[in-house]
Structure 1
Amino acid sequence: MRRWGTGLLALSLVVLAGCAALQKSVTYPKASVQSVDVQDIGFTALTLAFDVAVTNPYSVNLPVLGLDFALNSSGTQFLSGAVDVQEIIPAGETRSLGVPIRVPYKELYDVITGIEAGSKVPYEADMELHVDAPLLGRIGVPLDAKGEISIPRL
């Protein structure tokens, strides 16, 4: 009986070591924010367009399922949410995705004091792009960006 236990333990350790080695050898998609521009200015909000480059390392198409985000300024989160992004990245290619994020002025004003029209507000964007990777299923690809949002003069 003790032999079975020792054998089972040894087999478990081999399987776990194999899984760890396999995980290190798996290639994952890459994503990065190339630029952020003001896409639209309204009376209650502005829309930022995040240009996200996604690289598909696989020999099959890579479906993009969406993007989660959190926007911060000076260490304080002022907006978070999810954007439905339904795109296909062709096998072995890099594509740019335009991801719009609507930022209500009220969210900025509630967090950051002293904002005036024409001022620039520093921001950090923490994001996770969700893709449907072959054999792995739904995975998250982390990415981030830093910059300034210009508050328009109305």
Structure 2
Amino acid sequence: MEILEQAKNYVAGKVANMPKPEADITDVDFKGFGLDGITLLAKISITNPYSVPIPIGEIAYAVKSADRCIVSGTIPDPGSIKGNGDTMLEVTVKVPHGAMVSLIRDVGGDWDIDYVLELGLIIDLPVIGNFTIPMSYKGEMKLPTFADFFRGGKSTPEEEEAVCK
């Protein structure tokens, strides 16, 4: 039994030290809004150390604000990671208007919504099995003011001076 236990520990140590794909959220943009809600576009950079492409099983996502989960879900079969290199993946997340209305209390005086986007890239690695690469991105959505509609989004010299101080 001792040899079997040593072999099991050896294999577990080798698997733990194997290189694994890495991913990072590089940017999140406000893509637009429509009748169904607001759309966020997350750009993910994924590095694959293996020479073969790896299929992505699914992407789990959650958008949180003020310690509340606003929306969560999964995106099935978003593609694959190319071998020996970097892959840029764009993920769209829809936030329904009903969820945005519940955020009004977060707006307050600064007229923005602070949010956290959490993504889990779920891939199936041979020998290891399902492997989740967790990612997180903190940001804020600035809401337009009435003055932005009339000025076309341009700030006044006084506002620019206040921002620079």
1:33 Cα offset (Å): 0.3
> Given the superposition, is the C-alpha separation of residues 20 and 121 from structure 1 closer, same or farther in structure 2, using an over 3 Å criterion?
same
Q: Give the secondary structure class of the aligned counterpart of 1:86.
A: strand
SS at match of 1:77: strand
- TM-score w.r.t. length of structure 1: 0.81
Q: In angstroms, what is the RMSD of aligned CA positions? A: 2.4
- The residue number in structure 1 matching 2:21 is 29
Q: 1:11, CA displacement in angstroms?
A: 2.7
Aligned partner of 2:81: which letter? Answer: I
Q: Is 1:145 matched up with 2:137?
A: yes
- 1:88: Cα distance to partner? 2.2
Give the deviation of 1:49 after TM superposition. Answer: 0.3
Within 2, Cα distance between the matches of 1:79 and 1:152?
A: 22
Give SS of 1:23's match. helix
For residues 67-98 of structure 1, give each alpha carbon's deviation from its aligned partner in whole angstroms, at most 9, with x where no partner exists.
10111112221111112342222211111111
**Residue 105 of structure 2: SS of its match in structure 1?**
coil
> How do 1:5-154 residues align onto structure 2 when only pairs under 5 Å count?
8=1, 10-113=2-105, 115=107, 119-151=111-143
Q: Report SS of the residue matched to 2:83.
A: coil
2:20 is paired with a residue whose SS is coil
Q: CA deviation at 1:53?
A: 0.8
Label 1:114 to 1:97 Cα distance change in 2 as closer, same or farther (>3 A): closer
In structure 2, stretches of 5+ residues that fail to align are 150-165
The alignment partner of 2:102 has SS state of: helix
Where in structure 1 are there 5+ consecutive unaligned residues? Answer: 1-7
| 8 Å Cα contact 1:109-1:115 kept in structure 2 | no
Percent of paired sites with the same residue = 24
Matches of 1:42 and 1:59, distance apart in 2: 41
Deviations 1:94-126 (A, max 9, x none): 11111000001211322552648x932111122
Which amino acid is 2:7 matched to? V
Alpha carbons of structure 1 residues 115 and 44: separation in structure 2 relative to 1, 3 Å: farther
Deviant stretches of 4+, over 2 Å? 108-112, 132-138, 149-154
TM-score (norm 2): 0.76
**What SS does structure 2 have at the residue aligned with 1:125?**
strand
Aligned mates of 1:72, 1:114 — CA distance in 2: 12
